[in-house]
Structure 1
Amino acid sequence: MLRLPLLASGAALMVALVAAPALAQERAPEERQRLLDLAFTLGESHALRQVCEGANDQFWRSRMVRLTEVEQADQAFDAQLRERFNTGFAARQGEFPVCDASSRKAEQQSARKGQALALRLSQSMRAVHHVAADPEALSPN
């Protein structure tokens, strides 16, 4: 079975993103929106992967569970994240009921989208951590 290298790199980026805990309530509104977009994309990816790998495949669902654990979001935002995941899953599950070239192409596109979202989130986290780690950057001198 063909394994797409983009999916592997997207998974590695996702692991790197969730390796550094960040509380969702501390995120800026645009980062919270990116998290919601990422949850939707993870849901899409989960559905598309299951079409070809089978219903027992939990690769992307487990990444979503890890994301919610790391974010430690308040109950309302956690519910939004889960709803976005489920909406993405349902959208792609209905659109691609069989594994074929078009479902594989959609899987690649979803992986690229998720990779871009995770990269933007990780860059904003690095910028915040860099400023926080450098007290000189905060002084008005």
Structure 2
Amino acid sequence: MAVADNFRRLLGTAFIALALGSGAASAQGGKPPAEVTPAAEEPAAKPSNAPYMKPLSRLATVLGSLHFLRGLCGDANADVWREKMNAILEAQAPGEADRRTLVAHFNQGYRSFESTYRKCTPAATVAVERYAKEGADLSREISARYGS
């Protein structure tokens, strides 16, 4: 399959993930982290300089943040964010270095809020809404710039 076709599928997957909404449910903490796992260890390779990697890395961070925050706030579908990140990795099929970069950004987004929030608060709910909007904006930007 052509790189452009893979990239279009990636963007469609990301956009669908972010279109799921930004509402948060009642507080429900104590869930164990569910991280995207990197592929098997290989010799370190340099990440590509592909221009879409910067916004795609930010999108990975946003998805990781949403995965944690929506789970914290009791969203029964919180795991969808990790699943969508895995779908992006599968559709994009990045080289090992780029894959590690994207996984690291997802995990960083998750951990940044995990270290701050212990329960769902009004601020966490606002963060969910803002990150969902940012993720949707990033998806549109990536699609517009690199999808054709």
TM-score bracket for the superposition, by shorter chain length = 0.5 to 0.7
Taking a change above 3 Å as real, the CA distance of residues 123 and 107 of structure 1, as seen in their structure-2 partners, is: same
Show the counterpart of 2:104: 83
* Deviation of the 1:113 alpha carbon: 1.1
Between 1 and 2, higher relative CO (CA 8 Å, sep ≥ 6) is seen in: 2
Q: Is the 8 A contact 1:13 1:119 kept in 2?
A: no
Cα displacement string for residues 6-53 of structure 1 (whole angstroms, at most 9, x for unaligned residues): xxxxx9862389xxxxxxxxx973311111111011111111111012
Unpaired segments ≥5 residues, structure 1: 1-10, 18-26, 130-141
Matched, 1:104 2:125: yes
Give the TM-score normalised by structure 1: 0.67
TM-score (norm 2): 0.64
Q: Which residue of 2 aligns with 1:20?
A: none
Identity of aligned residues (%): 26
Alpha carbons 1:43, 1:60 under 8 Å: kept: yes
Bigger Rg, which one: 1
Q: In the aligned structure 1, how far is the partner of 2:96 from the partner of 2:49?
A: 17
Contact 2:13/2:87 (8 A) holds in 1: no
The residue number in structure 1 matching 2:60 is: 39
In the comparison of the two structures, how many residue pairs are matched?
108
Specify whether residues 62 and 101 from structure 1 end up closer, same or farther in structure 2 by C-alpha distance, changes over 3 A only: same
The alignment's C-alpha RMSD in Å is 2.6
Q: Residues 108 and 16 (structure 1 numbering): CA distance in 2 closer, same or farther, change over 3 Å?
A: closer
Match of 2:41 in 1: none
Larger helix share, 1 or 2: 1
Query: Residue 115 of structure 2 corresponds to which residue in structure 1?
Result: 94
> What residue is the counterpart of 1:114 in the other structure?
135
Unaligned 5+ segments in structure 2 are 1-11, 19-47
